Amino acid sequence: MAGGIRDPRTSVTSRALAILAAFDVDHPALTLSDIARRAGLPVATAHRLVGELVTWGALSRGPDGGYTVGVRLWEVGLLSPLHTRLREVAVPFLQDLHASVRENVHLAVRDGDEALYVEKVTGHRSVPIVSRVGGRLPLHATGVGKALLAFQDPAYIATFLRGPLPRCTPYTVTEPGRLARELAGVRRRGWAATSEEMTLGSCSVAVPVLGPDGTAVASIGIVVHSLGANLERLVPALKSAADQVAARLAATGDDPYPSLRHGVAPHRPTAQRVSA
């Protein structure tokens, strides 16, 4: 049950948030009874709160009586620094990178023990992938996730390695000692790679976007077909993009709207097309 609550002492805010949490990628549209069940609320309570959320615009009611996330909530979400700052700074460089490699390009950040995908640039010839903007995947099973994980505080890494670590495919690295050695290699060379650890038939390579303290604030990755892939050849283009994003973030300070006040990040086409 997504976001379910049963304690009658919970606040109105907690109940409203539980209703919003009832919606996810597998449940983008829900009936009132579905919302009540998934939020752990009496139907009468859910009906009252859902009505208020519809009035405000957080939810929208369709002709069939079902509910979806409303436009007002989407507008508020766009005020997140992930959109107004990181994404706006990074997108021009992600587009340059995609023009160079012609493969799936991702921008991700760490949220808890998962990689949260902030942006994705892809083409119709790119390998099919399970990631989506706003989606989450395990840190230890993805290229962008390993690039993020390797450049976190050592205490966090030690806690993360204690697991449990889900095995997404037969090739997912879940053994703490092996993963620790792999992360040390990522820190040493500056890039991470996976081979069919998240999806069979696909491999990935990623680099961190480092902040002033050396911690990864984001990561940029490329996903390609496993067959015939040469991941190391993609690293220079990836590092160039990550370095430019990091420099742009530093140059614009804490401004939440860097593209409005400082101009759009310079569009510098990547040198030439890179073959995977």
Q: What is the pLDDT of residues 263-272, one digit of tens each?
A: 444 444 444 4
| Same domain flag for 146 and 63 | no
| Overall number of domains in the chain | 2
Check whether the bond before 8 is cis (ω within 30° of 0): no
Residue 269 included in any domain: no
**Which domain covers residue 153, as residue numbers?**
81-261
Residue holding tokens 């290229």?
Answer: 143
- The number of angstroms, rounded, from the C-alpha of 128 to the middle of its chain's C-alpha atoms is 17
Distance between CA 168 and CA 154 in Å, rounded? 25
| Same domain flag for 196 and 61 | no
Residue 275 included in any domain: no
Torsion sign (Cα): 146, 151, 152, 157: positive
| Same domain flag for 135 and 229 | yes
| Same domain flag for 245 and 184 | yes
| Same domain flag for 72 and 112 | no
Question: What are 150-207's pLDDT values in tens digits?
Answer: 999 999 999 999 989 999 999 999 999 999 999 999 999 999 999 999 999 999 999 9
Q: Which residues, in sequence order, are bridge partners of residue 104?
A: 223
Residue 196 amino acid letter? E
Per-residue pLDDT at 270: 45
| Same domain flag for 175 and 60 | no
Distance between CA 237 and CA 268 in Å, rounded? 12
Per-residue pLDDT at 242: 96
| Same domain flag for 177 and 87 | yes
Q: Averaged over 136-154, what is the pLDDT?
A: 95
Q: How confident is the model at residue 260 (pLDDT cuts 50, 70, 90)?
A: very low
Please say if the pLDDT value at position 7 is more than 60: no
pLDDT mean across residues, the chain: 86
Distance between CA 137 and CA 49 in Å, rounded? 31
Residue 244 included in any domain: yes
**The two three-digit tokens of residue 131, written as one number:** 């990631």
Q: Averaged over 64-85, what is the pLDDT?
A: 81
